[in-house]
């Protein structure tokens, strides 16, 4: 039995039909002692199956040290959302509830190769002269 309801899958397919280019989901998990690890992997697998423009690679956070280092992942579960370019988008934890929509939006943005930011915001960001590490934390309510 899937974690995504049938009616949700229909809506997700509809949203993903707006993808213009392929997107790769790179998922990091581990077999032992990972709260919601199995459920998170299942949701990511179900999501990837809803569009032929989505592909999925799954790695073990403990065993696949080269891939962990390549993507700079520092905890699991983690999902990288990328295309030919790695934009640095990392989603940690299980995408559920409102956060699932955030993952869908990130997939669509990466597919278009466009952030959706306005010209003024892009101009200000272009003035940054050093990397910035930005994290957004959410908690279920």
| Model confidence pLDDT, tens digit, residues 103-123 | 999 999 999 998 888 999 989
- Whether 75 and 90 have beta carbons less than 8 Å apart is answered as no
| H or E element in which residue 115 lies | none
- What is the pLDDT, as a whole number, of residue 98? 84
Q: Where does the pLDDT of residue 139 fall: very low under 50, low under 70, confident under 90, or very high at 90 and above?
A: low
Long-range contacts of 6-11 (CB under 8 A, 24+ apart): 9/46, 9/50
pTM for this model (two decimals): 0.90
Percent of the chain at pLDDT exceeding 70: 96
Q: Which CATH superfamily is domain 6-126 in?
A: Glutaredoxin (3.40.30.10)
Burial class (CB in 10 A: 0-12, 13-18, 19+), 100: middle
């Amino acid at each position: 039995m899937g974690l995504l309801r049938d009616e949700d899958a229909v809506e997700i397919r509809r949203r993903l039909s707006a993808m213009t280019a392929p997107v790769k989901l790179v998922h990091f998990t581990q077999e032992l002692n990972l709260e919601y690890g199995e459920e998170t992997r299942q949701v990511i697998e179900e999501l990837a199956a809803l569009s032929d423009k989505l592909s999925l690679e799954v790695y073990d956070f403990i065993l696949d040290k080269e891939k962990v280092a390549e993507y700079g992942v520092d905890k699991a579960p983690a999902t990288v959302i990328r295309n030919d370019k790695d934009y640095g988008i990392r989603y940690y934890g299980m995408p559920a509830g409102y956060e699932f929509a955030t993952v869908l939006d990130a997939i669509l943005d990466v597919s278009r190769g466009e952030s959706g930011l306005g010209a003024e915001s892009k101009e200000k960001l272009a003035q940054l002269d050093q990397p910035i590490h930005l994290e957004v934390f959410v908690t279920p309510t």
